[in-house]
Structure 1
Amino acid sequence: MPLVCGFRPFQKDAFKTDQLNWDTLGQIDVVDGSNNVIASNVAAVLVAPGRALDGQSRVLADAVYSECGGNYDARNYLDSFASADAIGGQVNYFSGSTNNRVAPNTSNKRFVMANTNHYNDRFAFISGDDLFNPVMRRSDFAQAIGNLLDTPVFQTYLKSIDVAGNKGTDNIECSAAAVPNRDFCDNWKEMLFLTQISPPSAITINGVTSPFPCGRVLIFAGRKSVGQSRSDALEKADKRNYLEGLNVSSFAVPNATATAFSGSAVGFSAASPATDLVRCLP
């Protein structure tokens, strides 16, 4: 692979997501020479350009860059830069920006991985799972979840808001909730489910009765498991794509339909990331 010092062929960070968590979809798709999808919604790709094609030149073009060597024009690396040779209308560079490296909009960018007269780029894919598999094994990640769920001020705030929306959390404002980490709250709020127990009463979590009556129940939904999908607004509005076990039937807005819940009453564990975390709010 030619090494080009400081060369960034493309970037999507010009358009930042409002929320970043293990359900956030990447904005890069990759297709083959027949326009069949090889990978979709990946977070990043590492491109290894093959030999120069179609008049590409990698000769040093400006002496000011002699320290790094190579050529700083993306079209001399990414295939194909000519729309006439595009596969499915796709070429492997961004048009209309410096060095063709900035995405023109927030839509997914589609790249081509093929072995033809006009394409020979190769890719390594980095998925959302690749990013979050190591993150969720960090002790401070489990601690951040625990701090969000168990901070008394946050729990008091949750008891003061109206339970509304498919998850009961539409009225949560992380900026007004005195949370220990506002950014974490903003990024992970969509995992929170809130329901009322009316009148307040004890609940069970995995058959164990709570030591005091619960006015509300807070659930932090774990990572999606087999059969669950959270790819669009409709799927994210369906509690079955988040909750497991008794929680699916007991959770409802604004009032729970039962007092039996399942999951963990303690902390997050990377060994079972799909397990719901359940809290009784007195």
Structure 2
Amino acid sequence: MSTPGLKPRERPRGGQSPRPSQPGARHSHGQALIAALLLAAVLTAGAMLANGELRARAEAVAHARSLEALAHARSALIGYAISYEERHPGEGYGFLPCPDRGNDGSTPIGACGARDTAAIGRLPWRTLGLPDLRDGWGECLWYAVAGSAKHNPKPLALNWDSPGQFALEDAEGLALAVAAADDRAVAVIFAPGRARTGQVRPPARPFGCSGSEAASEDLPHYIDHPFAAGNTGPQRITQGTLRPDDDTATNDLLAWVGVDDIFDALRRRHDHADHVNALLDRVATALSTRLAPGNGGEAWRATHGAASGALIIGPLPTAEALGLPAGERAPIDRWRDQMRFAVCADNTACIAVSREAAVAEHCHAILAFAGERIRTGAGAQQRIEPAQRTDPAQYFEGLNALHLGTGIPAFAGAARFTVTDRSQPATADVIRCLS
């Protein structure tokens, strides 16, 4: 009985079973299919090559690999900056390494130029704990660091208001966004890409970067931007474009670090506030000693402050003027633009300091520490130009800013620096009551 929907198998005449296909026939058929596919692939590739599509796709893949290498390098630079104190105890955080000048993957021993000057060379991948990063064309990455952030020689000031040096723009000349108040980067990483017309490079090597041991000599053959050695002013750098058929266009791909990138990452460290408070403790102790009546305090405050209302007010003087030992001065001086002092002109405890949910304290002097700048909104603060950096309102909030300008002896704020939200700037004023 047959199953509905299925046709009974027909048998050949004579009762013989069907002959199976021969293995040789199947093999020949497979080879023919492979040959046909290969021929189609070659013809397709030829058509793409004729239209420039094959080169364009290869360039796009190389572009993507370059972006990946740049991202790794950028992350490592930020990590280096926010862990600098662990490798260099007592020197503080935020510093970036000098570039590799000798083609060995390491930051050189000694200075990279004079203080406050930018430096450029290859990325010091060994110093950063990275593998030998290459862009999509097999070239090593290059790197420029601003004088305001490099580790040797260190800048006199380094904090969340430090200026950048590199103004970035796209191929049309439009500014690229940088996480900094002045829209300038403190570090730029370059993926050089393929050689442009006029650039002469040795073949890439499997180990070590192509080129000589002198980064300064190799620079114009890898980086498309004129770079003024020893420059202390701003430098414009253009983001390259992907133009496979144009060997004259700028093709350097860039990644960059702004000072906000460093301090936003540093703020996420659980011990960041402790580090800032330890610095404030040292300043408060030294300032209390200098301002004490009967200890030459009257002459000292007259030298470093100015009378305003009931108070004598001034910016925090140098750590040397505070009487701190030489070995403790540099980290404090790098933050002193964030601090002001105020002392009662009549040597009484005339200053009232209000604390949240606490009874006001009465002090004969205070140390005021500005938090991070307010970045957005109607109360946004700017600390770039000299006039802005002398304006209390660009550092302090509300009545604190007003009273630091008018000498009214009333202030409000926490006694210690705190980070309430690690994803947002810690802008609250700190008011230390000095004994």
Task: Report the TM-score, using the length of structure 1 for normalisation.
Answer: 0.77
Deviates more, 1:241-250 or 1:186-195: 241-250
How many equivalent pairs are there? 255
User: Are residue 280 (structure 1) and residue 433 (structure 2) matched?
Assistant: yes
Deviations 1:189-232 (A, max 9, x none): 01111112354235132464344x31112111000003100012
Give the alignment of 1:1-282 within 5 angstroms: 1=135, 2-4=137-139, 8=142, 10-12=144-146, 13=150, 16-39=154-177, 40-60=183-203, 67-72=207-212, 73-79=218-224, 92-94=225-227, 103-115=229-241, 117-151=248-282, 153-159=285-291, 160=297, 161-162=300-301, 163-164=304-305, 168-170=313-315, 172-175=317-320, 176-178=322-324, 181-198=328-345, 199-201=348-350, 203-206=352-355, 208-211=358-361, 213-225=362-374, 226=376, 227-252=380-405, 256-259=407-410, 261-269=411-419, 271=421, 273-282=426-435
Distance 1:252 1:10 in 2: 40
Deviates more, 1:128-137 or 1:65-74: 65-74
Task: Report the TM-score, using the length of structure 2 for normalisation.
Answer: 0.52
CA RMSD of superposed structures (Å): 3.1
Q: Do the aligned partners of 1:15 and 1:106 also contact (CA within 8 Å) in 2?
A: no
Shift in alpha-carbon separation, 1:3–1:18, aligned structure 2, 3 A: farther
Compare CA radii of gyration and give the structure with the larger one: 2
Deviations 1:57-110 (A, max 9, x none): 33249xxx884152342222222xxxxxxxxxxxx1425xxxxxxx33211121
Q: Secondary structure at the match of 2:220?
A: helix
Distance 1:246 1:190 in 2: 20
Deviates more, 1:186-195 or 1:40-49: 40-49
Shift in alpha-carbon separation, 1:184–1:204, aligned structure 2, 3 A: same
Structure 2 residue identity aligned to 1:205: S
Distance 2:288 2:206 in 1: 61
Distance 2:145 2:343 in 1: 44
Distance 2:235 2:373 in 1: 25
Deviation at 1:274, TM superposition (A): 0.5
Distance 1:150 1:10 in 2: 35
Q: Secondary structure at the match of 1:252?
A: helix
Shift in alpha-carbon separation, 1:128–1:3, aligned structure 2, 3 A: farther
Q: Do the aligned partners of 1:247 and 1:262 also contact (CA within 8 Å) in 2?
A: yes
Identity %, equivalent residues? 25
Structure 2 residue identity aligned to 1:222: G
Specify every segment of 5 or more residues in structure 1 that has no aligned partner in the other structure, as ranges. Answer: 80-91, 96-102
Q: Do the aligned partners of 1:60 and 1:66 also contact (CA within 8 Å) in 2?
A: no
Deviates more, 1:125-134 or 1:144-153: 144-153
Distance 1:9 1:18 in 2: 22
Structure 2 residue identity aligned to 1:132: F
